[in-house]
Amino acid sequence: MVRKFAILILVSVFSVLPLVAETVHAQQNSNVLKIGSKRFTESYILAEVLAQQAKMSSNTETKVLQGLGNTAIVYAALRAGSIDLYPEYAGTIAQEILKSATPLSLEELNSALAPLGFGVAIPLGFNNGYALAMRSADAGKMNLNMLSELAKKPDLRLGLSNEFMGRADGWKGLAARYGFTQSPTSLDHGLAFTAIEKNQIDVIDIYTTDAQIGHLDLRVLDDDLNYFPRYDAVVLYRLDVPKRFPDAWAALQKLGGTIDAPAMIAMNARAEIDSVAFDIIARDHLVKAGGAPQVPSTKTGERGFWVKLLGGDLTRLTAQHVWLVLASVLIATLIAIPLAVIIFPYTRLRSLVLGAAGLLQTVPSLALLAVLISLMGVIGSVPALVALTLYALLPIMRNTCAGLSEVSDGLRQAGKALGMSARDILTQIELPLALPTIIAGVRTATAIAIGTATIAAFIGAGGYGERIVTGLALNDRQLLLAGAIPAALLALVSEILFEWLERVVRRRQGGK
């Protein structure tokens, strides 16, 4: 038993080495311009435009960390130095980051951001504001054109994005300005278009450059009380970027004013409707604008389901997903089993520790990730691994305690009568008899980790969640399935392996 535990420790140590190497590499590799994006189509595209412009016009090595989540998570990554810049919007910076009650000019934004170590530059040339929209046919029947008229229709069903519901410039302020009495449903931005198309909701929040507005024939309701500020697209960056990457920064300046609203809508449409890859859309825009030479790409334009499922990223995503699951479960096992052994004899302490572990399970994964990013000052595998490990603790600890409680007092007394020490009783009687139950706990923890590991994509740690997150942003069911199916297959393989392991353990114990 001791030998097996030592082997487990060694395996866990070696599983964590890539994590340490990644952290050191991230801290030392200051020659790479790291560009982040939020989790919606336009931000994906703009991040690629910035990266390709910097790389092809200045030979600067760039890295794009796509789909990092909402404003809070991407801004936390910028503060931590995990990214150097990302595409943002002036209204969002003023309201969400600086908490300003009034719109701010570019000069005012820079003045307020400078003490924080950030700056705003490169106005890209278009305004992508928030608005509410509904089906044109329904709006025509109701003669509904303005938000003040919508406020008089309390029976209409509103489905608003999660971020819009919580933003300072979102639903709460809008409802107060117009006197809305509706109780909106909160849902993902991409899924809202499917819901309104299928007549499940009547009104959604949209970005004014959304490609689906024309595709679904939606009517954008006029903000007649001028609630929404302008959301001019800009680049939010760390103030040391121009000094660290002077050539890349000079190249990025050339993007100022090169993207108008129709161009952005067209690029969004190519991604969401035609399923063209983000890097190709960015490349084509830069070539058309004369901002960069032709950019080689290994991707094709439109992609069918099998191309998405068996694409070139499958091996990389599988390796990332499997590593996150194995490392987190191994670390959780090393923590949970010894801790369960220690607390098992003490009823109150056991209840307290298991209760605390259970409480961790109730914390929403994205909230936990946001907290970990702020505490650890890094994005990627580090906070993802910590989160997965915390979620895996409860089933392993609980099952270890349950397995130990199943060992009869008579067997313990027999061991004492034979002169066995407490350590011998633990390693030769209690743990071997509890092993099937412990393995069942590790099995449950592994299943939880496989499903929860998809959250890693929200903070740039990879895994099958990359496809799921992008599929949600694009409202692409095929891409969602291309991420969900491999995760389900991995869970199935895990169940088969644990079923075999449990049979082997029971057979050996039965033989004894």
Residue 226 falls inside a structural domain? no
Verify that 213 and 250 share a domain, yes or no: no
- Residue-averaged pLDDT of the chain: 87
Task: Please state the domain count of the chain.
Answer: 3
Q: How many other CB atoms are found less than 10 A from the CB of residue 185?
A: 15
Distance (Å, rounded) from C-alpha 350 to C-alpha 405? 12
**Residue 413: both structure tokens together:** 């007394």
Give 424 or 331, the one with higher predicted confidence.
331
What's the predicted TM-score (pTM) here?
0.76
Per-residue pLDDT tens over the stretch 303-357: 678 888 888 889 999 999 999 999 999 999 999 999 999 999 999 999 999 999 9
| 495 pLDDT above the threshold of 60 | yes
Among 99-113, 226-240, 267-281, 463-477, which stretch is predicted with the lowest mean pLDDT?
A: 463-477
Examine the fold and report which residue of 220, 245, 277 is the final residue of a domain before the chain moves on: 220
Examine the fold and report which residue of 169, 192, 220 is the final residue of a domain before the chain moves on: 220
Distance (Å, rounded) from C-alpha 187 to C-alpha 136? 21
Residue 13 falls inside a structural domain? no
Residue 15 falls inside a structural domain? no
Residue 239 falls inside a structural domain? yes
Distance (Å, rounded) from C-alpha 398 to C-alpha 355? 10
pLDDT at position 73 is: 83
pLDDT-derived band at 250 (thresholds 50, 70, 90) equals very high
Q: How many other CB atoms are found less than 10 A from the CB of residue 197?
A: 16
What is the distance, to the nearest Å, from the Cα of residue 476 to the centroid of all Cα atoms in its chain? 17
* CATH at residue 150: 3.40.190.120
Burial (0-12, 13-18, 19+ Cβ within 10 Å), 505? middle
pLDDT at position 371 is: 82
**Residue 361: both structure tokens together:** 């399970």
Mapping DSSP onto H, E and C, the string for 202-237 reads CEEEEECCCCHHHHCCEEECECCCCCCCCCEEEEEE
Q: What's the mean pLDDT in 158-170?
A: 88
Write the DSSP assignment of 230-266 as a string of letters: --BEEEEEETTHHHH-HHHHHHHHTTTT---HHHHHH
| 440 pLDDT above the threshold of 60 | yes
pLDDT-above-70 percentage for the chain: 91
Verify that 490 and 422 share a domain, yes or no: yes
Verify that 98 and 183 share a domain, yes or no: no
Burial (0-12, 13-18, 19+ Cβ within 10 Å), 194? middle
Verify that 318 and 204 share a domain, yes or no: no
Verify that 418 and 490 share a domain, yes or no: yes
Amino acid found at 264: M
pLDDT-above-90 percentage for the chain: 59
Please name the residue ranges forming H helices in 344-475. Answer: 347-362, 365-376, 381-405, 409-417, 422-425, 431-452, 465-474
| 293 pLDDT above the threshold of 90 | no
Residue 16 falls inside a structural domain? no
User: Residue 105 carries which DSSP code?
Assistant: -
Residue with tokens 């603790």: 393
pLDDT at position 302 is: 55
Verify that 180 and 46 share a domain, yes or no: no
Distance (Å, rounded) from C-alpha 49 to C-alpha 284? 10
Contact 54, 252 (CB under 8 A): yes
Neighbouring-strand partners of residue 134: 203, 219
Relative to beta strand 130-135, strand 218-220 is antiparallel
Verify that 341 and 416 share a domain, yes or no: yes
Verify that 345 and 358 share a domain, yes or no: yes
Domain that holds residue 203: 130-220
Question: How many alpha carbons lie under 13 Å from residue 360 in its C-beta half-sphere?
Answer: 17
Question: How many alpha carbons lie under 13 Å from residue 334 in its C-beta half-sphere?
Answer: 18
Distance (Å, rounded) from C-alpha 34 to C-alpha 47? 10
Minimal CA–CA distance to 456: which of 122, 9, 67? 67
Residue 21 falls inside a structural domain? no
pLDDT-derived band at 2 (thresholds 50, 70, 90) equals very low
Among 1-15, 87-101, 103-117, 300-314, which stretch is predicted with the lowest mean pLDDT?
A: 1-15
Relative to beta strand 203-207, strand 158-161 is parallel
Contact 229, 105 (CB under 8 A): no
Q: How many other CB atoms are found less than 10 A from the CB of residue 66?
A: 21
pLDDT-derived band at 295 (thresholds 50, 70, 90) equals very low
Verify that 143 and 97 share a domain, yes or no: no
Distance (Å, rounded) from C-alpha 23 to C-alpha 183? 44
Examine the fold and report which residue of 164, 199, 220 is the final residue of a domain before the chain moves on: 220
Verify that 375 and 351 share a domain, yes or no: yes
Rg (CA), the chain: 27
Verify that 453 and 472 share a domain, yes or no: yes
Verify that 340 and 486 share a domain, yes or no: yes
Residue 168 falls inside a structural domain? yes
> What angle do the packed helices 2-28 and 381-405 form, to 10 degrees?
160
